[in-house]
Chain A
């Protein structure tokens, strides 16, 4: 299933080499690139065995990096940087590795080289990282110059997104930030990857809306937020922010529209939580205090329900592990969804999974577990396949000594040919033509059967070799499976820890939201109580 998915993704996101490979090496190289892109570095490395071209080394380096062998990868990459092909990509990969492992200072030269020597998407990515480096150093102008040299596309948009954040940190107004966001949005038009462009676009609009809101430019904020798609990851936050901007313009009912929609999202999305509370605030501002109270109580109830969900999720993580409880459970098919015990668990579970997956270490852990699970499945399948293969080969060995079938078929074919020859004399022209055709076919069959017999002899020899090899491979699988299982456990525990911390964090977040809801309810009650006090006091004074 994962493989199918990966293949679909690859078709969507990875530009494949359209020309059919002509040699085996090219074919294997293509398959290796495909496997690497599909997140199967082991498969890629398998395909790359025996290949030593710069491209193969590049792919190999990527696979090694993905499979957690950065030292080997680094050697290959450094070699590539000294070569005359794929230098840019190699520098970029090195820069990424150094960024992750050693920091910005160490990665800076690699980035600069990557920017200088690469082209296309690689160069854009390198420039992005370079601009980001400047941003981190606080050199906004320098970063802006780098961004100005970039082509339209995703990386430029990301760079402008980041510089907008930088401007907002130093500027008292949001003017420069918003300009940068607008440039980022414009840059996105040049990105060929529609899905990531749309995702980034939603984030850019959200950020622009946030900056405008911070600057009290509420109409501008709603203008940005109006363009946020309703089905993006940023939608709940955008809806909440949209509501805030509308609220700030005293259009309380309009704000409620946004927040009402935001509430539909799982509470895993922070905008959804805030939207629940926002509804109460709107009722309050509009003077419908009773409904405000009800809204807060409803929010509280929803949050309490979410706590229950989180508790259940935490229990399941404890019992089944995070991967089973969160990742696999989110993959339920349509049929399984209908049969699920609790629909609410599956839906928020997916949302929480999405949020969990935003953390890099969570991503890595999940990927690792997915890979290991896949590996385990593969190994199990291989073991099963190998078993079947061995049986088949054994069977074939047994049955290949005499194979009357082919002879019977040949004899039968001869008889049929003779019979047809007899028939050809009789009948009409059309029938005779057809019969002649059948006769030719039977002759071909007879020839094929003859050749087949020759091949079966060869095959038996090969089969015997294969059978031996299969038996050898099959014996290694349990050990591999054990290793995979151990790795799964370790990865699972890591993911469990991350998930547990995450869930705990979510519970705290929900808890805090509950406390805030409770706070609002208390404010409302306080207001009512003080009103009652005031009324009683006035009554006393009147009396």
Chain B
């Protein structure tokens, strides 16, 4: 009955009116003017939210709480909830809750009362059928099986549509099974299976128990089909048995076991295959065959076990479980002591996953197994190769396996090395090389990588040397060495290899590369002295090959220094060779400098060879070449000094023979002809100097103004020389004669010879003609003076004849001068001839008169003299006029001028004229 509010309110007012505002638990106050009047007006408060760390709670603690809650609460719903949670937790924690059996029993026993209370009152959130079920379960747990079954039967009876009915029926059937009433149990299980709405998990359990109930009745076929159904169910919830939860494991395992047992009892693998053919293929067949094989193996029936496994392998070779089955086959053979069969099985295993695709499809553990088998088999073949007849074949097999294995290992270095060794033994050098390289460079963490890489290097070297059939060229070899050194910079063998490569490159005339290689070693202080020495040698050679002689010199010096520093022992001959190389490099530098017109540098180089290789041939050569260089560069004095020094230092050297001529040349070129002549004549005291040299010397003397020395040679020569047989000789002799005459060493006699030779010869030169002409003129002047000295006295004919002879002699000379053709001589000759005639004429006129002539006679005599003189004057006049004519030929000299003077005296009307210069103006627009 609902009490009217008036009374309640009255009482409410009774007490409320006496009190202050309602107080809550903790200073609760409703201050209306601050907080709003209604819930909607409530001002929100700040609530803190923090993510805090959560304690690690053990399931035992939770269980303890639930037990405590169960014990302490009076509410049956809460108690049952605690119990259910506890049961669930027990399942999840795999029973590790430290709840003893007694406690558990007590809980369930007490819970029975709660269940009954809730069932009776209906005051529960749980549905009644669920309560009945849980009650049944509780009875079962406390050992009250009959009561449990009774409750389950009550559930089935009273709640035919309950979702728990199937579970209940299952439990009833379970009870029958426990009581060994298998037929009853089977019937019960069948009821559950036939239910459409039974859960899959329940059906699976039911199938399982159905199978067992059938098995117990020896109905193996039916049982097998039931167990297949169990596996079908389990497959659906375990991702096709890839992820079997712990809770399912036992059932699955047991089902497989019993199926194996059934198969074994009904015919083995064939029976299993027949069953599967009948019920249809299953994707978990491998498990069945696997378990059958396990069973046989546990029974010691290796062949049957293998047959079972291989049956499946044959059926489905690409199945993911095949590797495991193969492994099982191997294990079975091994366990049973069949080593060969086990090995063959391993080989099959290896071969089955040889290609990368199929290998990649293997699981990680299968790959590990494959790797192990491969290694084992490879080792087996390798060891066997030492004793087998077909050694190469065994090594090849071993190598093949190692090579196959290596890329599939993380630490493959060792295997790759072994592969290399195996291939090497098998004669497949390329593969050996590849594997050595792999071991050396592609196997991180491999401790002997350097050795493997070095093996590759050695193999390449042998290949290069054609000791093994390996296609390798020098580039490849060099690349290989460089690679070795890059990777194993601290390995001393790298230096050796570099030197070797350098030398090979040098041999191949690849000097630049050889230089690079050698430089790597020589510059590295870590290299051994021997390696560095060899590197310097190679560098020297390379530098020389590259014509970098300065660098070559440094290299040689370095190498040489190493020999002197005691870093290594070198035979003397080798050291000498080094010295030679050094000297050569300097020599070459001199040549280079010389080619570059760096004379001083070249000379310096040439000269310093001696400091490196004293008195060596090259040093001597160098000095000689230094002199030559100076000579060729026209540094005469320096060259002369050098030559003289050279001759002084090496008088017996073959090159010394060349010094004489070079000195002569140098002297001459340097404007020291006398020294040149002296040089030429230097051997005259001991060795007869050839006329050629003497004449050269005479020439030099002549050039130097040492006329005396010259004249001596000339005179000696002329005294012995035969008449010239050729032009050169003629001219030479004429020149000599001329010079003798000019220098006053010879008189008219030589002149006459000069003129006569010139007249006689068919060879002339301007010089010879000029000399002859000059000589003729001198002779003519002498004759003229003799003519002039002859006075015309009585007897005039005699004196005249004598005069006439002198005249002829003079005229002859003058005509000879004219004949020699020089302009100057010709004009003088003409003049003098003309003057001779005028003199004659004058002398005639001035000749003494015979005594006793009267005037008339005298006049007559004068007329006769004039008639006699007049032709001479005419001739003089003509000769002068001929000289004058030379003007029109464009020639004028003093003799022409004198001739003109005489003509102006002799014919003033014609020849005595004032000359007048005419100006020349350059007019534009001329006729041209």
Asked if B65 and A288 make an inter-chain contact with CB atoms under 8 angstroms apart, the answer reads no
Residue of B nearest to A230 (CB): B30
B10 at the interface (CB under 8 A from A): yes
Stretch at the interface among A221-229, A413-421, A457-465: A221-229
Q: Which of B3, B14, B62, B68 is close to A370, meaning CB atoms less than 8 Å apart? A: B14
Residues on A with C-beta less than 8 A from B74 are 508, 511-512, 515
The B-contacting residues of A in range 497-543, CB under 8 angstroms, are 508, 511-512, 515-516, 518-519, 521-523, 525-526, 528-530, 532-533
Determine if A9 and B51 form an interchain contact, defined as CB atoms under 8 angstroms apart.
no
User: Contact flags (1/0) for B1-44 with A, using CB distance below 8 Å?
Assistant: 11101111111111101111111111010101001111111101
Contact with B along A197-241 (1 / 0, CB 8 A): 001100000000000000000000000011111110101001100
Residues on B with C-beta less than 8 A from A523 are 85
Q: Assuming A288-B51, A363-B11, A528-B54, is B25 touching A272 (CB within 8 A)?
A: yes
Query: Which chain B residue shows the least CB distance to A257?
Result: B44
In the complex, whether A334 has a CB less than 8 A from a CB of chain B is yes
CB of A162 within 8 Å of the partner chain = yes
* A357 contacts partner chain B, Cβ-Cβ < 8 Å: yes
Say yes or no: is B594 at the interface (Cβ < 8 Å to chain A): no
Structural contact, B15 and A515, CB atoms closer than 8 A: no
Q: Is A261 at the interface (CB under 8 A from chain B)?
A: yes
In chain B between 36 and 83, which residues have their CB closer than 8 angstroms to a CB of chain A? 36-42, 44-45, 47, 49-59, 61-62, 65-66, 68-69, 72-75, 78, 81-82
Shortest CB-to-CB span from A404 to chain B, Å, is 50
Tell me if A267 is interfacial: C-beta within 8 Å of chain B: yes
Is A350 positioned at the interface, with any CB of B under 8 Å from its CB?
yes
**Contacts of A261 on B, CB cut-off 8 Å?**
39, 42, 45
Most buried by A among B14, B51, B72: B14
Known: A229-B37, A230-B30, A522-B85. A532 touches B58 (CB 8 A): yes
A532–B57 CB distance below 8 A: yes
Q: Indicate if B712 sits at the interface (CB-CB under 8 A).
A: no
Chain B residue, CB-CB nearest to A331: B18
Q: Which residue of chain A is the closest to B85 with respect to CB atoms?
A: A526
Is A260 part of the binding interface, using a Cβ–Cβ cutoff of 8 Å? yes
A256 interface residue per 8 A CB criterion: yes
Stretch from A175-183, A340-348, A379-387 at the B interface: A340-348
| B324 interfacial by beta-carbon distance below 8 Å | no
B89 touches A (CB below 8 Å): yes
Known A-B contacts A195-B9, A230-B32, A291-B52; the reply to A529 vs B57 at CB < 8 A is yes
CB closest residue in chain B, given A363: B11
Q: Give the contact-size bracket for chain A.
A: 35 or more
Q: Tell me the smallest distance from the CB of A187 to a CB of chain B, in Å.
A: 14
Determine the chain B residues whose CB is within 8 A of the CB of A272 once the complex forms.
24-25
Given the contacts A337-B20, A530-B92, A533-B93, A357 and B12 also touching, CB distance less than 8 Å: yes
A533 contacts across to B, CB distance below 8 A: 59, 92-93
Smallest CB gap from B96: residue in A: A533
Given A5-B18, A351-B22, A508-B74, residue A226 in contact with residue B49 (CB < 8 A): no
Cβ-based interface call for A258 (8 A): yes
A367 contact set on B, CB distance < 8 A: 11
Contacting residues of chain A (141-172) with chain B, CB-CB under 8 angstroms: 154, 158, 162
> Of residues B18, B35, B45, B81, which shows the largest number of chain A Cβ atoms within 10 Å of its Cβ?
B18
Contact (A357, B28) CB under 8 Å given A334-B20, A522-B69, A526-B89: no
Question: Which of A2, A200, A238, A525: most chain B Cβ within 10 A?
Answer: A525
Residue in A231, A260, A327 whose beta carbon sits within 8 Å of that of B45 in the complex: A260
Question: Which of B9, B18, B92 contacts A199, CB < 8 Å?
Answer: B9
Closest to B51 in A: A288
Encoded as 1 (CB less than 8 Å from any B CB) or 0, chain A from 278 to 293 comes to 0000010011111101
Contact between B85 and A230, CB atoms less than 8 A apart: no
Whether B14 contacts A9 by the Cβ 8 Å rule is: yes
Flag if B65 contacts A266 (CB, 8 Å): no
- On whether the beta carbons of A348 and B25 are closer than 8 Å, the reply is yes
The residue of chain A having its C-beta at the shortest distance from the C-beta of B14 within the complex is: A5
Interface status of A44 (Cβ within 8 A of chain B): no
Knowing A132-B2, A354-B15, A518-B69 touch, does A264 contact B28 (C-beta < 8 A)? yes
Verify B38–A228 contact, CB threshold 8 A: yes
Q: Is the CB of A518 within 8 A of B8?
A: no
Cβ-based interface call for A263 (8 A): yes
- Which B-chain residue is minimally distant from A125 (CB atoms)? B4
Could you say which residues of chain B place their CB within 8 Å of the CB of A396?
none
CA distance A272 to B28 in the complex (A): 12
Using Cβ atoms and an 8 Å threshold, which residues of chain A touch B75?
A: 512, 515
Q: Would A532 and B56 count as touching, CB distance under 8 A?
A: yes
* Contact present for A529 and B89 (CB under 8 Å): yes
Q: Cα distance A512–B6 when bound, in Å?
A: 32
Contact A230 B42 (CB under 8 A): yes
- B residues in contact with A511, CB < 8 Å: 73-74
**Which 4 A-B residue pairs are closest in the complex by CB-CB distance?**
A226-B40, A347-B23, A290-B52, A264-B28
Instruction: Offer 24 A-B interface pairs, CB within 8 angstroms, sorted by A.
Output: A5-B17, A39-B10, A162-B2, A226-B38, A230-B32, A264-B28, A265-B24, A265-B28, A266-B25, A290-B52, A302-B25, A330-B18, A350-B22, A357-B15, A360-B1, A366-B11, A511-B73, A512-B75, A515-B75, A518-B72, A522-B66, A526-B85, A529-B62, A532-B57
Beyond known contacts A257-B45, A350-B19: 5 more, CB 8 A cutoff: A229-B37, A264-B25, A272-B24, A354-B12, A511-B73
